[in-house]
Amino acid sequence: MKAGIITPVSGGMIKAVASPLLIHRALICASLSDAGTYVQCNEKPDGLNETIDRLRKQGAKIRYDGSGFNVAPIEIPESGRGFTAVAAQHGFAGQNNRGEYRLPGDVAYQSISGLLFTLPLLDGDSRIIVEGREEYKPYIDMTIDTLGMFGVRIERVHKDDGGAEYKIAGGQKYISPGTVKAEGDWTNAAVWLCAASVYGSGVICSGLNRYSRQGDKEIVNILERFGAVVSYRGDSIAVRHSRLRSIRIDAADTPDIIPLLAVVAAATEGQTVIFNAQRVRLQESGILMKVSRTLSALGANVIENSDGLIIRGSPAIKGGTVSSLGDHRIVMMTAIASGICEDTVAINDAEAVNKSYPDFFDDFEKLGGKVIKGM
């Protein structure tokens, strides 16, 4: 699909979609539980398909009814042994044994999460020792919180070097809470909040937990540092444009919103530096290259370096036709960048957005944008 962005969003009210990362975790826990679970979710992102397929192959019965997932659990062996698929799902396919695991702090969070899902099922206690600064803490926090919803307890001890130790009692059981409702997704909400900070009459995004453990809630603080006007009311966040200033952004804990921050920076006076993003280069499908290539093709001044991005802002950039490069984040970034482009913006392979936000273009239009699909 080719999407032509004719008019950027102007503003209005929007409800945050449910967090795909939290739904992903809830589906795994529900598949390990003692009884059926309903995971509320009005959207079904394509990015969940692999999780669902793997869990079904292990024996879970998962059915989506348009409003959520009905999950009938897997029959787990009494000892929990042999259930390596959950660990593999999170990137850890090693031996499924109790004991002590030592991992460097910059290891992908999937490795730690995989162990946290699996080790509680085994006979005997285990420990995970993270050595050095733990670089994916918000993602692991989400795993621990979701486990807690299902009665699985993890003890976490912080270390002086920024690492952590996880103490996991064996022989635990996943207890279904009956119904789980994933909180609103800060990552996708950041799309509209960033757009509002740059142009338009402002956006109010509801359904967000101000005290969420999602790392991308940091978008609010970053936008305030840029100079945007931010206010809270209940579960809603309101953002409107003001004169923006260049800043330095430590992206270590917020890799998923780097593309959106780059758009804000491209519309900001002066030079913005996004740093501490070196692990994103290695583990996030070349996202720094994709951001630099796409925004440069639209006329922005973006330089990729070994640590992140350097962006020199301007009041407007040219626009044109770009590819999504198969990345949902690039689709959303480009759509929002249309608001600072002099010419029309078109995106080839725009259906890549379905991985995390199938209704993205519908919501884009709800906020005043105009889109021609299938050009």
DSSP letters along 187-199, please? HHHHHHHHHHHHS
Task: Pick the closest to residue 124 from 84, 161, 80 (CA basis).
Answer: 80
Q: Which of 22-36, 126-140, 203-217, 230-244 has the lowest mean pLDDT?
A: 126-140
The two three-digit tokens of residue 85, written as one number: 């698929």
Angle between helices 109-118 and 20-31 in degrees, nearest 10: 30
pLDDT for residue 90: 47
Residue 226, SS3?
helix
Cα 108 to chain centroid distance, Å, stands at 14
Q: Does 3-17+184-373 match 20-181 in CATH topology?
A: yes
CA 218/CA 3 separation, integer angstroms: 30
Question: What 3-state DSSP class applies to 302?
Answer: strand
pLDDT value of residue 81: 47
pLDDT in tens, 139-171: 999 999 999 999 999 999 988 877 899 999 999
Find the range with the poorest average confidence among 18-22, 231-235, 266-270, 283-287: 283-287
Is 60 exceeded by the pLDDT of residue 374? yes
Listed in sequence order, the DSSP H helices in 178-327 are 186-198, 219-226, 258-266, 278-283, 287-297
215: pLDDT strictly greater than 80: yes
Name the H helices within 243-297. 258-266, 278-283, 287-297
Q: Cα 331 vs. chain centroid, distance in angstroms?
A: 15
Instruction: Domain 20-181: give its CATH code.
Output: 3.65.10.10
Residue type at 239 in one-letter notation: V
pLDDT value, residue 83 = 52
Cβ(260)–Cβ(332) below 8 Å: yes
Choosing among 3.40.50.10490, 3.30.930.10, 3.65.10.10, 3.30.420.40, the CATH entry for 3-17+184-373 is 3.65.10.10
Higher per-residue confidence, 282 vs 225: 225
216 by DSSP, 3-state: which? helix
- pLDDT band at residue 352, thresholds of 50, 70 and 90? very high
pLDDT value for 128: 94
pLDDT tens digits for range 171-194: 999 999 999 999 999 999 999 999
Tokens linked to 6: 């004719």
Q: What is the largest CA-CA distance in the chain?
A: 63
pLDDT over threshold 70, residue 5? yes
Residues marked active site are found at: 256
Backbone angles phi, psi at 214, to 5 degrees: -65, 130
**Phi and psi dihedrals of 281, rounded to 5?**
-60, -35
Q: Examine the pLDDT at 265 and tell me if it is beyond 60.
A: yes
Domain definitions of the chain by residue range: 3-17+184-373, 20-181
Looking at residue 282, what is its pLDDT? 56
Residue 363: both structure tokens together: 């919501």
